Amino acid sequence: MTRPGALPGVLRRALDAPGGRCYRHCDQPIRSRRLASALPGRWEVRACPSGVVSVTSYAEWTRRDPTAAVRRALGRWTRPASLVRAWDLRLATRRGPELGRDAERRLAATHPPKGVRVVYWRVYPFRAPDGSERRLLVCFRRTHRTPVFFAADPSGPRWGCPVCARRRPKRHRS
């Protein structure tokens, strides 16, 4: 028995995103990475090798709107949490034909009907008060239990994960 809201294999495969490139930042191939969470659906982050995020999405097989739960989870993973703004979260319902024939059959066999609800989180580049351009980045270092999302200027001379920066040992002068 699967958890309510969990995506069956045919729906997970239908949602798999193709490659792509980081056109606005570095022209490198974008990689998809799955995230673990207590929510029953599937998280995916699409980012370039430098960690610049293209889009983060959460998909769940349900009739309900999972946006509030997604916002809370993203708020826990983001430094500062104020980067997760309501207008950057978009809800879409994926049904039948756009997911392919196998997924369409699976969805049609469900009564009452459910769609695949997908919440997309996309933070477009913005200007910081100092005039520098900021982009959403993600850190997946093994020292983190969860991903860490943060804003930085990837073309700047120094930037890094705010959690990793706190974990670096301080050097004492003798």
Q: What is the CA radius of gyration of the chain?
A: 18
* Residue-level pLDDT at 86: 93
HSE-CB for 90 with a 13 A CA cutoff = 9
pLDDT in tens, 16-36: 877 788 876 788 888 889 998
Asked if 111 and 46 touch (Cβ cutoff 8 Å), the reply is: no
Which of 28, 16, 85, 87 lies closest to 54, judged by CA? Answer: 28
User: pLDDT tens, 107-164?
Assistant: 888 877 788 999 999 998 888 888 888 889 999 887 777 889 999 887 776 667 888 7
8 has pLDDT over 60: yes
Rounded to an integer, the average pLDDT of 45-58 is 91
- Higher-pLDDT residue of 110, 74: 74
